[in-house]
Structure 1
Amino acid sequence: MEQQAIPIALIADYALRGGATGITLLMAGFLLATRPLREVTVFGALFALGAGVYAMLSVEPLQDMLGPAFVPLKLLAMLSPAFFWLFIMALFDDEFAFRTWMAAPPVAIAALFLVCFPFPATERASKLAHVAIVLALMVHILRMTRCNLRDDLVAARRQFTGIVVFLVPLVCLAIGVIEVYELFNLRGGFASPAIAAMLLCVSAAFAFGIAGIRKSLFPQPVASAPQPNGTNSAADRFDLARLEKLMNEGIYLNSGLTIGELANRMNMPEHRLRRLINKGLGYRNFAAFINDHRIEEARRRLSEPETAREQITSLAFDLGYSSLAPFNRAFRERIGMSPSQYREKALATS
């Protein structure tokens, strides 16, 4: 009996999906092996695992083999965009702490997936709502990357940001095509291999971004404020002295001060100033560098009896903040209490 030839498209589909799964599983292991284990590595590993599972779940023979395990694995796959969103937030924020509201997108995605089992008629609406949530998360990621490019001082993370800018549209395209593919129950042709190729590209881009820059992406926990690097060259020490002079003159009080403007004042390339503040002073973010100077000035003014009646809002504007809320937030994060509480405590002991 003549054996039926396996279609080339099917072979390509399985090969591409297998490649994507292999890459993502390796990345998940790499991230989980990184020490110390932090939120950023856990979220990255969950995204990698979810993406790998996503790549293989459309292989029908595998679905039959999985049996009851298919549902939790499919749920993990559906949650992978939410894990990617959490990974990016943790990566770009050195003071990241998981908050209750951050659970809303994964919980919503899980609910939309699970509701289809008791109520099959909701499947189409659930898929459309899932795509809408994913697109909203990707838009937020692009906004975060834009802010990161402006303020980040860590060269490795800035390089990874460029990869994210490429990765996010590709993730959106892949998910959109996959959901449409499943929604209309499309079969045959080269649609499935094309989807598999997109998944492989996403996996490869993520792996390249993570493996290429390694642990420099992940900040080590520190117990104190950034400290100067004792190995600075003579030229660096000279530039650091110039920078300190500018800060002592109060340039940090300028509202909306950017690193580009500061580099112009110092007559040096922006990339060199980024490296100088990062390597020379230990800061990973330009906003943190500016905020530390502003908060130190705020502490001085709040401790003086002569300014005891000054409005906190007026002080925030004088320090260069555009409104009271970011000043209060920055002050509380660094000092552990509100500006008003700090003033009362400082004046009571003076």
Structure 2
Amino acid sequence: MNVTLDVLLRVGGAAVGLVFLMVVGMSAGWRRRADLILLIFCAVAYLLCSSPTRPCCASPWALPLLMGAAGFPFAFWRLARVVLEDETTITPQAWGGLALLLVSAIMTAPDYLQISETTRIVAAIANKVAALGFVGSALWRAWRSWEGDLFEPRRRLRRWLMGYIGVYGLMVMAGEIYFLGARPPAWLDLINAAAIDATLLATLLFFVQLRPRAMDTLFAPRLISASILSSETISEPRTADPSADERLLGKLHTLMSDDKLYRDPDLSVRMLAARAAIPEYVLRRLINEKLGHRNFAEYVNDFRLCEIETRLQDPQWTRRPILTLALEAGFGSVGPFNRAFRKRYGKTPTEFRAEGTEGPRTVAESA
């Protein structure tokens, strides 16, 4: 009875996942949603490969499914970066972690490699450590970047996306670590399969039937305005008078450009809203809708990079170390500064100074 029910749950979940993949893949702008497609595939692969019969460990044709199941933590981490931080790059450390996930999965699965039991156990431990690293990193970054997210509908959706999927993923991995080397009870397998089925079905219904625009919330182009979802997801009062927005933007521009608040490395949405004497949700809306930024760090770094660009091109600052210029402009450390600079100018600060190239100046002047 349990085996039959287990098979029905897994086949049903795989069918829902296939429909989900077809809906996302056939919709307009599917390339922007490639990371969601990857996550769905990995979830379906895990659903199938976690069966008590272990179908992904018996024959070479199932190797892609095994790789998909093993890659779920990476797919989750990747989706979190793209959806919540508008970050599309993959670091060398992440590539290394993915390689560790895949190689250790092959070493752990029976019938693929003839290795000792000790080596197999070590590989299983390494696999779980890498998986925990990806999921934990995604949750940490989601929590850390939540305050600076200016796209209100996305701020709300991340609670479900990261809270439910991430915490559930940690619970599953904790169970796998606890039962390392042994099969979990049949009832636990059934609960796990049912939970995955329910998640896939609920997500499909949410995106396709209940909140079709939620897909655009997560995967819209970088500078899309939050106003596309205002009728569905935003309930805060909005400024009725356009001239009031202009006055607030003028005050904001004075604080940033004249008072140079961006030089404070700890500047946050809350601090800037307090200095401007406006509610936080109004500040978020203004920066997002009027100035085109989806996160607060991007907005503040625009001012910092503009100051650094000017000084790198000014002969009187030639002898000042670049790191000093970055710290004076408000960057807390060299890592975030180098990444932001390279992302904007396509070269390192040292190359920029040496070439004397004038980069684009994009600090919002609309205020």
* Aligned mate of 2:188, from 188, 191, 196: 191
2:23 equivalent to 1:30? yes
Deviation of residue 344 (structure 1)?
A: 4.2
Structure 2 unaligned blocks of 5 or more: 226-239, 359-367
* Aligned mate of 1:21, from 14, 33, 37: 14
* Aligned mate of 1:311, from 316, 321, 328: 321
CA distance change for structure 1 residues 257 and 119 in 2, over 3 Å: closer, same or farther? same
CA distance change for structure 1 residues 232 and 293 in 2, over 3 Å: closer, same or farther? farther
Deviation of residue 89 (structure 1)?
A: 2.0
In 2: Cα distance, 1:84 partner to 1:210 partner = 18
What does residue 78 of structure 2 align with?
86
Q: Give TM-score scaled by structure 2 length.
A: 0.78
In 2: Cα distance, 1:22 partner to 1:45 partner = 15
Matches within 5 A, 1:95-174: 95-116=87-108, 117-119=112-114, 121=117, 122-163=119-160, 164-174=162-172
What does residue 248 of structure 1 align with?
257
Deviation of residue 82 (structure 1)?
A: 1.8
* Aligned mate of 2:291, from 271, 281, 286: 281
In 2: Cα distance, 1:330 partner to 1:204 partner = 38
The amino acid that maps onto 2:41 is L
Deviation of residue 277 (structure 1)?
A: 0.5
Contact 1:138 1:168 in 2 (8 A): yes
The amino acid that maps onto 1:110 is L
Deviation of residue 25 (structure 1)?
A: 2.6
CA distance change for structure 1 residues 178 and 325 in 2, over 3 Å: closer, same or farther? closer
- Output one character per residue of 1:246-288: Cα deviation in whole Å (capped at 9) or x when no partner: 1222111222111110011112221221111011111111111
What does residue 215 of structure 2 align with?
214
2:53 equivalent to 1:51? no
In 2: Cα distance, 1:12 partner to 1:60 partner = 12
- Output one character per residue of 1:177-206: Cα deviation in whole Å (capped at 9) or x when no partner: 356557323554x23222223323443565
In 2: Cα distance, 1:347 partner to 1:36 partner = 35
Deviation of residue 142 (structure 1)?
A: 1.0
Contact 1:145 1:165 in 2 (8 A): no
Q: Rg bigger for which structure?
A: 1
In 2: Cα distance, 1:141 partner to 1:312 partner = 31
In 2: Cα distance, 1:191 partner to 1:308 partner = 65
Alpha-carbon RMSD = 3.2
CA distance change for structure 1 residues 182 and 17 in 2, over 3 Å: closer, same or farther? farther
Structure 1 unaligned blocks of 5 or more: 1-6
In 1: Cα distance, 2:307 partner to 2:320 partner = 14
Q: Give TM-score scaled by structure 1 length.
A: 0.81
* Aligned mate of 1:337, from 347, 352, 362: 347
In 1: Cα distance, 2:204 partner to 2:241 partner = 33
In 2: Cα distance, 1:232 partner to 1:22 partner = 50
CA distance change for structure 1 residues 127 and 313 in 2, over 3 Å: closer, same or farther? closer
Matches within 5 A, 1:220-239: 220=221, 233-239=242-248
Alignment length (residue pairs): 332
* Aligned mate of 2:175, from 171, 177, 182: 177
